[in-house]
């Protein structure tokens, strides 16, 4: 075989091998490597060309044409393979990135109000609709607002029942306490009215946390109260009963019978505990109401003249009623919750069930 035929055969072999490899290339990176391996400066084609120098000068143009044809064939095959691979890779990418619009969406868990807060909101909404103005007071109180002004002077036995958290304010001689009820807001609201040169009528609802240092199944050291009072000329027990009847029926979402049972509180005279027809047995008598058909829900009464006097309201002209209720107690009765501690343990199963019930 002549030198030129041998070179031609080498080129043909190189081309066949290269075209087969180009067609099999798995991705554009492999193809890029093949381009360098065959057409690069140190590539296969270049090394074959080195043999051209050994040819007689007259044969060189012939083989030159042949080399160019091979080079063009390789370049063309590479371009073609490249564009095919690019198409294929694009199709794969589109498939991978395709959004399945039929997939159900990912829902984020939605929170709900705590049952106590929900109950508080419901109660405040009812009183607000009845025209009571909302007021707030501090949780750290003094003895005057928590006791003295409410006709509970020092040494009064009722103070002992309040299981009060007392503490001293650093750098002062003042004794402060965590309010044991929301009644101090009554005093503050009446004082604010009088201090501003105003006078009744006053109709106020206040709510918030109160503190007692006892704790068992039915008592928590912190709980919530709602305090309601009205002062005007000619306010009577009938007004109190009407407001209670409307509120309790609205809160329990049914006509609940109520009764006022004589009781004693230092800050009201006369005083009454308020019972509702048992919501568990519909007033028939069951274990929870101990067969009586009645359940005690709150304390109430006509504001004691001494309380009005303490804030500078003339009790010969004005009278008023007041009542205070435990929020947790009413929420427990409404939803049949047996244990007060469930409200404060943050068991998410309980909170979810309660949260979705409203
Ligand atoms: Zn009952």
Domain boundaries defined on the chain: 3-97, 115-356
Give the pLDDT confidence score for residue 5 in this predicted structure: 82
* Cα–ligand 1 centroid distance for 296 (angstroms): 11
* Cα–ligand 1 centroid distance for 208 (angstroms): 29
Q: What percent of the chain has pLDDT above 90?
A: 49
Provide mean pLDDT across the span 213-233: 87
Give the pLDDT confidence score for residue 169 in this predicted structure: 74
Tokens for 335? 């939803």
124 contacts 135 by C-beta, under 8 angstroms: no
With vertex at residue 214, the alpha carbon angle to CA 208 and CA 217, rounded to the nearest 5 degrees, is 90
* Cα–ligand 1 centroid distance for 253 (angstroms): 17
Q: Tell whether the model's pLDDT for residue 181 goes beyond 60.
A: yes
Nearest to 268 by CA among 231, 317, 294: 231
Q: Tell whether the model's pLDDT for residue 358 goes beyond 60.
A: no
Provide mean pLDDT across the span 277-301: 91
Give the pLDDT confidence score for residue 4 in this predicted structure: 78
Give the pLDDT confidence score for residue 215 in this predicted structure: 66
Give the tens place of pLDDT for each residue, 54-98.
778 887 888 888 888 888 888 898 899 889 888 988 998 898 888
Q: Between 121 and 161, name the one with better pLDDT.
A: 121
Q: Tell whether the model's pLDDT for residue 233 goes beyond 90.
A: yes
* Cα–ligand 1 centroid distance for 332 (angstroms): 14
* Cα–ligand 1 centroid distance for 281 (angstroms): 4
* Cα–ligand 1 centroid distance for 277 (angstroms): 8
Give the pLDDT confidence score for residue 158 in this predicted structure: 76
* Cα–ligand 1 centroid distance for 101 (angstroms): 54
Q: Which residue has the tokens 């080399």?
A: 67
* Cα–ligand 1 centroid distance for 209 (angstroms): 29
Give the pLDDT confidence score for residue 356 in this predicted structure: 52
Give the pLDDT confidence score for residue 357 in this predicted structure: 45
* Cα–ligand 1 centroid distance for 180 (angstroms): 29
* Cα–ligand 1 centroid distance for 245 (angstroms): 19
Q: What is the CATH number of domain 115-356?
A: 3.30.930.10
With vertex at residue 187, the alpha carbon angle to CA 328 and CA 302, rounded to the nearest 5 degrees, is 75
* Cα–ligand 1 centroid distance for 295 (angstroms): 8
Quote the CA–CA distance of 221 and 343 in Å, as a whole number: 13
* Cα–ligand 1 centroid distance for 216 (angstroms): 23
Q: Tell whether the model's pLDDT for residue 51 goes beyond 90.
A: no
Give the tens place of pLDDT for each residue, 94-146.
988 888 888 888 888 778 889 999 999 999 999 999 999 999 999 999 999 99
* Cα–ligand 1 centroid distance for 330 (angstroms): 15
Cis omega (within 30 of 0) on the bond before 270?
A: yes
Q: Tell whether the model's pLDDT for residue 293 goes beyond 90.
A: yes
CB burial readout 91-103, b (16+ within 10 A) else e: eeeeeeeeeeeee
Q: Tell whether the model's pLDDT for residue 214 goes beyond 80.
A: no
* Cα–ligand 1 centroid distance for 299 (angstroms): 20
Q: Tell whether the model's pLDDT for residue 36 goes beyond 50.
A: yes
* Cα–ligand 1 centroid distance for 337 (angstroms): 14
* Cα–ligand 1 centroid distance for 222 (angstroms): 27
* Cα–ligand 1 centroid distance for 351 (angstroms): 26
* Cα–ligand 1 centroid distance for 20 (angstroms): 92
Give the pLDDT confidence score for residue 217 in this predicted structure: 64
Consecutive H or E run containing 269? strand 268-277
């Amino acid at each position: 075989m002549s030198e030129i035929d041998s070179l031609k055969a080498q080129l043909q072999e190189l081309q066949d091998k290269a075209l087969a490899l180009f067609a099999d290339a798995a991705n554009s990176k492999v193809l890029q490597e093949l381009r360098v391996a065959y057409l690069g400066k140190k590539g296969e084609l270049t090394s074959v060309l080195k043999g051209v120098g050994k040819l007689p000068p007259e044969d060189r143009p012939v083989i030159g044409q042949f080399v160019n044809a091979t080079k063009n064939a390789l370049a063309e095959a590479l371009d073609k393979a490249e564009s095919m691979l690019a198409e294929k890779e694009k199709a794969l990418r589109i498939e991978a990135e395709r959004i399945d619009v039929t997939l159900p969406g990912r829902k984020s868990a939605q929170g709900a109000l705590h049952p106590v807060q929900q109950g508080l909101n419901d109660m405040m909404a009812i009183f607000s609709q009845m025209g009571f103005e909302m007021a707030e007071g501090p949780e750290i109180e003094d003895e005057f607002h928590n006791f003295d002004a409410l006709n509970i002077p020092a040494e009064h036995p009722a103070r002992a029942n309040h299981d009060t958290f007392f503490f001293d304010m650093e750098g002062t001689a003042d004794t402060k306490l965590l309010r044991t009820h929301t009644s101090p807001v009554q005093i503050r609201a009446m004082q604010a009215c009088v201090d501003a040169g105003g006078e009744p009528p006053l109709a106020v609802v206040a709510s918030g946390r109160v503190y007692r240092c006892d704790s068992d199944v039915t008592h928590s050291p912190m709980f919530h109260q709602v305090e309601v009072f009205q002062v005007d000329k000619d306010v009577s027990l009938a007004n109190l009963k009407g407001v209670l009847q409307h509120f309790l029926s609205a809160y329990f979402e049914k006509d609940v019978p109520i009764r006022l049972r004589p009781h004693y509180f230092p800050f009201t005279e006369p005083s009454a505990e308020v019972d509702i027809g048992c919501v568990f047995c519909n007033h028939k008598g069951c274990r929870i109401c101990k067969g009586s058909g009645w359940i005690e829900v709150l304390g109430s009464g006509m504001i004691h003249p001494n309380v009005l006097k303490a804030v500078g309201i003339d009790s010969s002209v004005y009278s008023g009623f007041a009542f205070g209720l435990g929020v947790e107690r009413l929420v427990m009765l409404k939803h049949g919750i047996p244990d007060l501690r469930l409200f404060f343990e943050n068991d998410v199963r309980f909170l979810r069930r309660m949260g979705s019930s409203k």
